[in-house]
Amino acid sequence: MLSLLDAMESGFVPGKCVLVASNVADAPGLTSASARNVRTAVVDHHGSSSREEHDEKLLALFREAGVEIVCLAGYMRLLSPVLLKAFPHRVLNIHPALLPSFPGLHVQRKALEHGVRFSGCTVHLVDEEVDHGPIVLQAVVPILPNDDEDTLCARILTFEHIVYPRALKLLCEEKIEVRNGRVKLLIPLREYTELLNDLVYRVEK
């Protein structure tokens, strides 16, 4: 969340954060957003009888605040069609693995247990399934021989802070088009290759 705010405040992302909302009252992101004079709100899901009712409350809040794009950051609930239909292809999420591999939780642990050589992170457009939906950008991070879950998480987190603002920038600039369930980036090939080069961790010899 802070990386997205930094990117907007610096002008890298041509947008403004109008609201930071959480279903958890003591979420640290609320305090951080308030410190930057960003409006915050809490919508406790325990006060709703269904996922749809909770999302209706969120949607009313989003509309009142003028939200046009929704970015998930540590939001541990599935979104219902109530929100997804209101923001078609306008809800972003980041996941600390190279989807479609390893959705869900404890993904670095799973990657180490499976012995894969590369991990990373994925920014995708959200649909009704867990960690699913058209992929916007991915960053590739190698798994080193001495890695454990903590070291791998830390290396991937560095790239999460890089890839998420870049994906949001593309969406804000309307350079993302969804065709047959896949994202097409509406940017020149040279810009695309430069972008990909920025999203690969290089192991020093």
| Rounded-to-integer distance, Cα 152 and Cα 98, Å | 13
Q: Is 95 a residue of the active site?
A: yes
Pairwise CA distance, residues 169 & 11, whole Å: 10
What is the rounded distance in angstroms from the CA atom of residue 43 to the CA atom of residue 19? 12
- Tell the burial category of 195 from Cβ atoms under 10 Å away from its Cβ (0-12, 13-18, 19+): middle
Instruction: Give the CB-side neighbour count of residue 146, counting CA atoms within 13 A.
Output: 0
Which pair of structure tokens corresponds to residue 44?
A: 């406790």
Residue 175 structure tokens: 């350079």
End-to-end CA distance of the chain: 33
Q: By C-alpha distance, which of 82, 88, 55 is closest to 69?
A: 88
Q: Given the residues 95, 106, 114, 132, select the one marked as catalytic.
A: 95
Query: Active-site positions?
Result: 95
